Structure 1
Amino acid sequence: MGRISFSCLFPAAWHFSLPSQILSRLLLPPFRQLFIVGLLFFLLGTVYLLLVTGKLPANWITKENHFHRHMARVTDVDATDASNPDLNYGLVVDCGSSGSRIYVYCWPSHNGNPRELLDIRQMRDQNRKSVVMKIKPGISKMAQTPEKASDYIYPLLSFAAEHIPKNKHIETPLYILCTAGMRILPESQQEAILEDLRTDIPVHFNFLFSDSHVEVISGKQEGVYAWIGINFVLGKFNHAHNGDAVVEVNVPGSDQQEALVRKRTAGVLDMGGVSTQIAFEVPKTEEVAKNLLAEFNLGCDAHQTDHVYRVYVSTFLGFGGNAARQRYEERLIENTTTRNKLLGQHVGETAESPLPDPCLPADLQDQIGTPEQKLHVLGTGDFDQCRHRLQGFLKLTNETQTSLSGVFKPPIDYNNSQFYGFSEFYYCMEDVLRMGGDYNTSKYAQAAKSYCATQWKTLKERFDSGLYASHADLHRLQYQCFKSAWMYEVLHSGFSFPTDYKNLKTVFLVYDKEVQWTLGAILFRTRFLPLRDIQQESLKGVHSHWRHSFSFVNNHYLFLVCFFIVLLSIILYMLRLRRIHRRAAQHCSPSSVPWLEEGLGSPTLPINL
């Protein structure tokens, strides 16, 4: 009785003094279950909302959000675990003008998000070295003996087969892509070489290889692949909404136009032995001829615009470093021969009367031309004069917005752009001058001028002492002066880059990775493979539907639903609590016996069983 009257005097503390039976009534179903379920949903919704807004540590994010850890991907140079059954492999053979090189790539299964690309990287051996092999000369040398093309390429494929698990061979795509060296051959000779490869390779190797996997790619394709490769490694395809740039794209073949906010992509300059390419993204407002424009969807879903790109790309056959030197020498021979005939001179016909050549290092003696038409030359090492001579080989016109050979080039916002230079752009700066990386016009010109003017004897002594890059050879030393001047003129006179341009990097490795157009090639050619992985995962039921069907806005709706469930549960619980409290207060008298009527029993009166 004392306990009951104490509760009436102090109602605020009443529920602390109730018997255990009354407390249990406060937590009876369905209110207890509803409260617990609502609280659980509230906690899950909060955690999920924090995940999608990036408020939790990156290592909490699952593989579906692996781009949050993008820098971990691009800096990953660990040895490849070939025993991992989830790894996939791909091969690309770059059949260039001077040699052929095979690249082995690998990637884990796609994460199931159709808006993300495959995480492709170069395979690395136990010493963390890239699995790459190169042979010389170029496959174009098989023009007269096309039946030997498969024998020529056999060592490369054998090398790759040793590094890829045998059970993976049958599902490993193999692409053999030939570039400028093959493009200059007659079509009949090209086809004879390709047909030998199509016929013989499947006999000796079990790779995934079809007739369409071997071809001579166009300069436009090569430029696009180079553009894809560098931007992938740089993480430019991670379209974080960070306000870097607004790029307008529309799906090819669709009238729908969408504006996307994504990172500004980098442009590409690539100079090989035979050709030179330039590629950079242009807005849809810029009119470009179709033959100079590549518009493509790099994603696996054709209905998504996340990875639709509009890239200006132009290739210039004959404007590579070696091809330019050959054209230059042919012009020297032609002009000198004509002049000698007109003036009755014998310049260049013997070593005692050589023809001065400002594009060779000082005092370097060389012979150019064929045995039937040979010319002796002597280097004078004049960088500026060499540049002046080379301007005529650019085939420039007086029309605005044009570049090499008078080809149209869209305007570039040089104050808001970034370019990467590969191959000869890098070799010219690094192999001998040892200044690869950030390009500085004045420093580069001064270093090249100094090199050209140095006596050949001195340069040779430096070479023997190992002062130049390990892969630099005598051929590089002989033609470094010419190629330095050619690169300078192509960049500034041909492509019209201002001499104070600060955003050009000449590179061979990016994040310790060798970036070649072959990476872009396999990314583009395997872009539909994620659909296979997504379908397989759907059949297994691994990925739940809501993970990919809800948009970011819907995630907020999910949070609000959870919140209102919890709020409703609390309100109902409080109403129940208030009703019990009132009922107890109404019967707070000594004569009341509602405890027996409620079936709970009185704490002060005995209950007869």
Structure 2
Amino acid sequence: MIRATQVVPKSQHQETPVYLGATAGMRLLRIENEQLADKVLAAVARSLSNYHFDFQGARIITGQEEGAYGWITINYLLGKFTQKVSWLNLKPNEDSDLETYGALDLGGASTQITFVPPNKKIESPSNTLHFRLYGRDYSVYTHSFLCYGKDQALRQKLAKDIQVGTNGILRDPCFHPGYETVMNVSDLYSSPCTKRFEMTLPFDQFQIQGTGNYQQCRQSILQLFNTSYCPYSHCSFNGIFLPPVHGDFGAFSAYYYVMEFLNFTSEETRSQEEMTETMEKFCSQPWEELKTYFGDVKEKYLSEYCFSGAYILSLLLSGYHFTAESWKNIHFMGKIQSSNVGWTLGYMLNLTNMIPAEQPLPTPLSHSTYVFLMVLFSLILVAVAIVGVFIFHKPSYFWKDMV
């Protein structure tokens, strides 16, 4: 908000709306302690009300909303909702179908996948959202996997792997060789996401010792995805309906930050074999050597990149069933035209009604094109007038040439 007070002119503060939407972290808190979640929102609302902006309230948005707003953001910034009209084609073709991007969002507590299936058939009504934007109807598939953001997924994996027989030592392949840290059992089980793995342990703390093996790490992660049943024609995991992925996807938030660190965001698409080879080398790199090479990166983040990279590849390939062919359609995005990619812009566009339901009246000519045509037509008219005057005053010259 301090930044907003500096950017927005003071004369416009009172007419500038401010919205606050809380996502998966607060959704988890509401599951665990609804009264505490309400108190947090109330405290935030009081704080924001102290500024001279037009505060419109704070609320916890649903996972569906989070997915939909991310989808809106990407396609709005890419210009996928509107069709450009040239002066040679003043009316857009109503039958032409603008191909939208799908949206892949990965946070700390949840992850969302949202896209328009080609056949518009979505077997699970709870995963369907309908939009009418710029005169077009969209039937959008979306699902939010609570507890499958990268931070909560790591906690799930640790809770799954820690056993009574480990004597308080967990040798974990998702951390680098030589890495060690101590974790409280109470902290591990404090999240609603780890309740299904909770058990009575004979120790209050346990030590994590990294072994740095990507393949073993990936196998441990895959155990978080239950693919043993599917009540639909096609599923992702945990019995959740997922149409076959289609078209291009923009992957943002933690997808982008992790893959950028691992150098997987370049224009040249890496094959699965190349990414696997890179991950195997990275995860097996000794912790002390890694700290020396990446001294400017916080140790908490640096220690988890092996897990996060393995988790992203497992989620996209095994959870969402991207193939070697469709993988090239995933574009890891941090910004589009200097605007951050995420759900927040879509949230604001929706609340401020900045995306119309109907197609606005087109402006077929740009100002420069309009000026050019006016000058051209004026010159043509002047030329015609000069020829007409010449013919009028010297008709014999004109007829002589004709003969």
**TM range, normalised to the smaller chain?**
0.7 to 0.9
2:335 alignment partner, one of 509, 512, 515: 509
2:284 alignment partner, one of 447, 453, 469: 453
Partners of 1:425 and 1:408 in 2: how far apart?
22
Partners of 2:265 and 2:319 in 1: how far apart?
21
**Contact 2:122 2:141 (C-alpha < 8 Å) held by counterparts:** no
Gaps of 5+ in 2: 87-92, 187-202, 364-391, 393-403
Look up the equivalent residue of 2:287 and give its one-letter code: W
For the residue of structure 1 that corresponds to 2:176, the secondary structure is: coil
Look up the equivalent residue of 1:444 and give its one-letter code: M
1:221 to 1:369, Cα distance in 2 relative to 1, 3 A: same
Matched with 2:263 is 434
1:420 alignment partner, one of 250, 260, 273: 250
1:496 to 1:160, Cα distance in 2 relative to 1, 3 A: same
2:205 alignment partner, one of 368, 371, 374: 374
Matched with 2:108 is 273
For the residue of structure 2 that corresponds to 1:331, the secondary structure is: helix
Length-normalised TM-score, structure 1: 0.51
Whether 2:178 is the aligned partner of 1:363: answer yes
Partners of 1:195 and 1:429 in 2: how far apart?
36
Aligned-residue sequence identity (percent) comes to 30
**Contact 2:175 2:209 (C-alpha < 8 Å) held by counterparts:** yes
**Contact 2:176 2:285 (C-alpha < 8 Å) held by counterparts:** yes
Partners of 1:389 and 1:547 in 2: how far apart?
54
| CA drift at 1:238 | 2.3
**Contact 1:348 1:376 (C-alpha < 8 Å) held by counterparts:** no
Length-normalised TM-score, structure 2: 0.76
Matched with 2:320 is 495
Partners of 2:362 and 2:248 in 1: how far apart?
36
Matched with 1:486 is 311
1:406 to 1:547, Cα distance in 2 relative to 1, 3 A: closer
1:530 to 1:208, Cα distance in 2 relative to 1, 3 A: farther
Q: How does 1:109-508 map to 2 (within 5 A)?
A: 157-186=1-30, 187-199=34-46, 201-202=48-49, 204-210=50-56, 213-240=57-84, 260-283=95-118, 285-299=120-134, 305-306=135-136, 308-333=137-162, 336-337=163-164, 340=165, 347-349=166-168, 354-370=169-185, 373-399=204-230, 400-413=233-246, 417-431=247-261, 433-438=262-267, 439-440=269-270, 441-464=272-295, 472-500=297-325, 501-508=327-334
1:529 to 1:199, Cα distance in 2 relative to 1, 3 A: farther
Deviations 1:475-513 (A, max 9, x none): 122111111111111001100000342111112122343
| CA drift at 1:358 | 1.1
Look up the equivalent residue of 1:188 and give its one-letter code: Q
Q: CA RMSD in A?
A: 3.0
Higher RCO (CA < 8 A, seq sep 6+): 2
**Contact 2:245 2:321 (C-alpha < 8 Å) held by counterparts:** no
Runs of 4+ in 1 over 6 A off after TM superposition: none
Gaps of 5+ in 1: 1-156, 243-257, 300-304, 341-346, 467-471, 535-545, 549-576, 578-609
Partners of 1:348 and 1:478 in 2: how far apart?
23
Look up the equivalent residue of 2:293 and give its one-letter code: R
**Contact 2:229 2:238 (C-alpha < 8 Å) held by counterparts:** no
Aligned length: 337
Partners of 1:237 and 1:265 in 2: how far apart?
8
Look up the equivalent residue of 1:264 and give its one-letter code: E
Matched with 1:561 is none
| CA drift at 1:409 | 0.6
Partners of 1:421 and 1:360 in 2: how far apart?
24
For the residue of structure 2 that corresponds to 1:319, the secondary structure is: coil
Look up the equivalent residue of 1:429 and give its one-letter code: M
For the residue of structure 1 that corresponds to 2:294, the secondary structure is: helix
1:478 to 1:529, Cα distance in 2 relative to 1, 3 A: closer
| CA drift at 1:181 | 0.8
Look up the equivalent residue of 1:482 and give its one-letter code: F
Look up the equivalent residue of 1:365 and give its one-letter code: E
Larger radius of gyration: 1
| CA drift at 1:283 | 4.5
**Contact 1:429 1:444 (C-alpha < 8 Å) held by counterparts:** no
Partners of 2:43 and 2:95 in 1: how far apart?
46
